[in-house]
Amino acid sequence: MNKPFITALLLILLSGCIRAPTVQFFVLEPLSQSASSTVESSRQRTIGIGPVTVPSLLEHKQIITRSSNNTVQIAEFQQWASPLQDELLQALSRNLSTLQPNNIVHTYPWSIHGTVDLQVIIDIIRFDTIPGDSANLEANWTIKNENSHDILKNGHSLINHSLSDSSYPATVRALSRILGEFSRELSLELRKTENHS
């Protein structure tokens, strides 16, 4: 048996022993039930959350992080369990269900549930971290009376939190926290519309 053949055989055998890295899947954590506001609504309303749009950069299943030199990293082995757009929609809906306990919250599209009183449309501009530095959320939002199609409120939210840990679990926890803060902002604005819906 010649040397090149033996070397090739050993390389094949060794390559079979080396395992490919395992993909980690992450989900956004909703607010705990203890976050529920004690302020009760004057009447029950049905609130529709969505659509939620994201930039094309965030349409990857891989988790995206930024560097301070305007580059991005796409984590091949750290991914969202479902498309980020769906993760955001579900987490926002669960958060607002917690923060608006007297109201009924549906996710877009809600046609199976009938109509809603209010629609919350959200355009996510930025939702990422700079590892070891900050977690960042920027979004435009609109609250619309679904029956009259009147725009009751619209606004721009910008949330930044410091982030010292650069691990992916810490990254996802930080993103969940700033999404929770954004949900609280929306909940407060929804309360302000009680006399207009």
pLDDT tens per residue across span 34-82: 766 545 556 789 999 999 999 999 998 999 999 878 899 999 999 999 9
Q: Is residue 163 pLDDT above 70, yes or no?
A: yes
- Tell me the C-alpha distance between 12 and 23, whole Å: 24
Helix or strand (DSSP H, E) at 12: helix 3-17
Name the pairing type of β-strands 104-107 and 151-162: unpaired
Backbone angles phi, psi at 141, to 5 degrees: -145, 155
Measured in whole angstroms, the distance separating CA 48 from the mean position of its chain's CA atoms is 17
Q: Which H or E run includes 164?
A: none
What is residue 197's predicted lDDT score, i.e. its pLDDT? 57
Give me the residue spans of the domains in the chain. 43-196
Binning pLDDT at 50, 70 and 90, where does residue 194 land? confident
| Whole-prediction pTM | 0.85
The better pLDDT of the pair 109, 156 is held by 156
Average pLDDT for 131-147? 94
- Comparing CA positions, the residue from 95, 91, 110 lying closest to residue 185 is 95
pLDDT at 83: 94
Residue 28 contacts residue 127 (beta carbons within 8 Å): no
User: What CATH number was assigned to the domain covering residues 43-196?
Assistant: 3.40.50.10610
User: In terms of C-beta density within 10 A (0-12 exposed, 13-18 middle, 19 or more buried), how is residue 167 classed?
Assistant: exposed
pLDDT in tens, 24-33: 999 999 998 7
